[in-house]
Chain A
Amino acid sequence: MNTDTSASALDIQAPDVQRVACTLTINGQAHQFDIEPWTTLLDLLREHCQLTGTKKGCDHGQCGACTALVDGQRINSCLALAASYDGSSITTIEGLANGDTLHPMQQAFIDYDAFQCGYCTPGQICSAVGMLAEGHAHDAAEIREAMSGNVCRCGAYPNIVQAILDVSRSNDGKGQP
C-alpha cells in the first residue's frame, strides 16, 4: 500500500496561466491588455474596460446582445477570443454618439420606441449600424432577414425595423450623420 504522504505529493501547484499581451483600440482609444487566453472580447469589454453597454445575453452567439463592431463589421463579441483580435479597432454602443449628440440610429430607436426592456438594444443598434454599412438590406423584409441574429424577447421587432428603415432612407443611407 502506498503511504507516501510527503509534502511534495500533496503540494498541488496552480498550473501556470499564460498571459497574452494585446492592444485594442476601443472607441477610438488604444488600450493594452495582458489577458488570459480564454478571455472573450465581450468579457474584456465588460470586466476589463467597464464598458457594460455591450450585453451578455446567451453567451453562445444566438441572441446578438453582445454585438459590437470590429474594424467596422458587426460580430458576436461573446464568440471572439480577445487575444485573436490584437490590433483591431472596436466600436461599442458607448462609442457611437458624438459627445452629447446621439448617433442617428440611437435617436431613431428612441423616436420609434424601438425597445421595451432595453437589454437587447445596444446589440440591436450596433448590428443595425453594421448592417447599413454592409449595404445589402434595402426594405423591411431584407432588414428583418439581415437582423435575424438579434433577438428581442419583448418583441419590439416592428418598431426596430421602422427605426432602421428611417435611418436607411435618410443621410447617406448608411446612418452616418
Chain B
Amino acid sequence: MNRFSYTRATDVSSALQAHHAPAAAFLAGGTNLVDLIKEGVARPERLVDIRRLPMKAIEPAANGGVRIGALATNSAVAYDERILSRYPLLSKAILAGASAQIRNVATVGGNMLQRTRCHYFYDTATPCNKRDPGTGCGAMNGVNRIHAILGTSEHCIAVHPSDMCVALAALDATVHVTGDQGDRAIPFDAFHRLPGDTPQKDTNLSDDEMIVAVELPAEEFVEHHAYVKVRDRASFAFALVAVALAIKLDGDRIDDVRCALGGVAHMPWRDREAEAALRGKTLTPAAVRDFASAMVRDARGRPGNAFKIELTTRAIVRAFEQASGQRLAASDEDRT
C-alpha cells in the first residue's frame, strides 16, 4: 500500500474540513477502498475515517418512506425489519451481493461509491481511461465478457458493480448529500453517470461532498417484485446481468412498472420510455417480451459480451414471472 496519513473525524464538518487536501479520501467500511489502495489503483495521501460518524440510523422519513443513514452497513439494511417488510426488493438485492463478511462492514454510501471491477481498471500495467484519463481502454478490444452493452462511450465500457444500487434505482430512492455549499438531494438515477468523455467520474457527487443518507419513497412494491441476478457462480460473484423489477398489477393489467438493470451499463439502467409504454397493458408473454426488447433496443454487443443482450431480455422475462407468479416465457425452448 502507498503511504497515507490517517485522521479520525469526530463530526461531519470536521470530516469535510479534513477532506480539503490533495488526494484525500473518506474511509467508511473500506472493503473496496483498502483493496484499491493495495492494488495501487487508488493512491490517497490522506484517509479521513468517517466510520464513527452518527449516520447509521434506519428510520421513518418525513415522506412516509424510510431514511437509511449512509454509514448503515449492508447487513444492517438487508435484515432491518422495516426494509424486509416494506422494501423486500432492496433486501434481496443487497443479499445477492458480496459475502456476509463484506456485507457486515460495507456501508450504504460506500456501496454507492464502489468502483468498477473491470480487469483493466484493476491492472495498473494496462491503459485505462477511468484510472488514468487519456491513456486508452484495454477492455474495448480486450477481454470484455463482463462489460457494458448500454450507454457506453468510446472511452469506457465499464459497468457499475453494485446490486444494492440496482434496487435503489428501481425504487426511485433519493440521495442526500452535504458539502461546503450546503445540503442537496439527488434523484437516484441522476447520482451515477454514464462514462462519456469523463469515465474517471463515476458519480455527480462533488469533490467536497459526502453522502449522508438514502431515502426510500413511501411506495413499496411489496406484493410484486423480483431481483434476478445472473452470474458465473451461484454466490459471491458480480452480476453478468441483474434485473430489479417492481410492478403494480390490477388483475392482469400492469398499473405501474419500474425496471432497473445491473451489470450492463456504467450505472443502474432505467428506461422510462419503455416503462411508460408498458403501463396500462395486459400482462401477457408478448407484452413482456416487447418490453424486454425495448429495454435493450440501443444495446451494442462486442465479441466478448454480445451474449448479454439476449441474456438481459430473458432475465427481464424471468423477473416478470417471479414478480407476477405467472408463466410468461413464450415457449419451452424460451424458458429463461
A interface list, Cβ under 8 A from B: 15, 17-18, 20, 36-38, 40, 59-62, 64, 67, 73-76, 79-81, 83-84, 86, 127, 130-131, 134, 136, 144-150
B 1-44 binary contact with A (CB < 8 Å = 1; else 0): 11111101000000000000000000100110011011100000
Give CA–CA (A150, B235) in the complex, Å.
Answer: 11
Give CA–CA (A38, B51) in the complex, Å.
Answer: 16
| A–B pairs, 15, beta carbons within 8 Å | A61-B31, A62-B236, A67-B101, A79-B34, A79-B105, A80-B30, A80-B34, A83-B8, A84-B49, A130-B101, A134-B75, A136-B79, A144-B235, A147-B100, A149-B102
Give CA–CA (A17, B27) in the complex, Å.
Answer: 19
Q: Give every chain A residue within 8 A of B104 (Cβ-Cβ).
A: 73-75, 130
Q: Most A CB atoms within 10 A — which of B4, B75, B236? A: B236
Q: Determine if A61 and B101 form an interchain contact, defined as CB atoms under 8 angstroms apart.
A: yes
CB distance from A58 to the nearest CB of B (A): 10
| With known contacts A76-B105, A136-B79, A148-B235, A83–B99 Cβ distance under 8 A | no
Whether, in the assembled complex, B328 has its beta carbon less than 8 Å from a beta carbon of chain A, the answer is no
Whether, in the assembled complex, B47 has its beta carbon less than 8 Å from a beta carbon of chain A, the answer is yes
CB distance from A97 to the nearest CB of B (A): 22
Q: Determine if B6 and A20 form an interchain contact, defined as CB atoms under 8 angstroms apart.
A: yes
CB distance from B170 to the nearest CB of A (A): 23
CB distance from B45 to the nearest CB of A (A): 11
Q: Give every chain B residue within 8 A of A149 (Cβ-Cβ).
A: 98-102, 236
Give CA–CA (A36, B47) in the complex, Å.
Answer: 13
Q: Give every chain B residue within 8 A of A73 (Cβ-Cβ).
A: 75, 104
CB distance from A105 to the nearest CB of B (A): 16
Give CA–CA (A36, B2) in the complex, Å.
Answer: 11
Contacts A75-B104, A145-B235 known; list 8 others, CB within 8 Å.
Answer: A15-B3, A38-B37, A76-B105, A81-B47, A81-B49, A134-B100, A146-B100, A149-B236
Give CA–CA (A59, B35) in the complex, Å.
Answer: 8
Q: Give every chain B residue within 8 A of A80 (Cβ-Cβ).
A: 30, 34, 105
Q: Determine if B34 and A148 form an interchain contact, defined as CB atoms under 8 angstroms apart.
A: no
Q: Give every chain B residue within 8 A of A145 (Cβ-Cβ).
A: 234-235
Give CA–CA (A36, B1) in the complex, Å.
Answer: 11
- Residue of A36, A74, A136 touching B101 (CB-CB under 8 A): A74
Q: Determine if A127 and B100 form an interchain contact, defined as CB atoms under 8 angstroms apart.
A: yes
Q: Give every chain A residue within 8 A of B38 (Cβ-Cβ).
A: 59-60
Q: Determine if A131 and B102 form an interchain contact, defined as CB atoms under 8 angstroms apart.
A: no
B interface list, Cβ under 8 A from A: 1-6, 8, 27, 30-31, 34-35, 37-39, 47, 49, 51, 75, 79, 98-102, 104-105, 234-236
Q: Give every chain A residue within 8 A of B39 (Cβ-Cβ).
A: 60
Q: Give every chain B residue within 8 A of A17 (Cβ-Cβ).
A: 3
CB distance from B271 to the nearest CB of A (A): 31
Q: Give every chain B residue within 8 A of A64 (Cβ-Cβ).
A: 99, 101
Q: Give every chain B residue within 8 A of A67 (Cβ-Cβ).
A: 101
Name the CB-closest residue of B to A15: B3
Q: Determine if B100 and A131 form an interchain contact, defined as CB atoms under 8 angstroms apart.
A: yes
Q: Give every chain B residue within 8 A of A20 (Cβ-Cβ).
A: 6
CB distance from A47 to the nearest CB of B (A): 14
- Residue of A40, A61, A147 touching B102 (CB-CB under 8 A): A61
Give CA–CA (A12, B51) in the complex, Å.
Answer: 36
| With known contacts A74-B104, A80-B30, A37–B99 Cβ distance under 8 A | no
Q: Determine if B31 and A76 form an interchain contact, defined as CB atoms under 8 angstroms apart.
A: yes
> Can you list the 6 inter-chain pairs with the closest CB atoms, starting with the nearest?
A149-B99, A37-B6, A148-B235, A148-B236, A38-B1, A149-B101
Give CA–CA (A134, B75) in the complex, Å.
Answer: 10
Q: Give every chain A residue within 8 A of B51 (Cβ-Cβ).
A: 84
Q: Determine if B3 and A79 form an interchain contact, defined as CB atoms under 8 angstroms apart.
A: no
Q: Determine if B35 and A60 form an interchain contact, defined as CB atoms under 8 angstroms apart.
A: yes
Q: Give every chain B residue within 8 A of A136 (Cβ-Cβ).
A: 79
Q: Determine if A83 and B100 form an interchain contact, defined as CB atoms under 8 angstroms apart.
A: no
Name the CB-closest residue of A to B31: A79
Name the CB-closest residue of A to B47: A37
| With known contacts A37-B5, A59-B38, A61-B31, A76–B102 Cβ distance under 8 A | yes
Give CA–CA (A150, B75) in the complex, Å.
Answer: 17
Q: Give every chain A residue within 8 A of B236 (Cβ-Cβ).
A: 62, 148-149
CB distance from A130 to the nearest CB of B (A): 8
Q: Give every chain B residue within 8 A of A81 (Cβ-Cβ).
A: 6, 27, 30, 34, 47, 49
Give CA–CA (A73, B27) in the complex, Å.
Answer: 19
CB distance from A10 to the nearest CB of B (A): 22
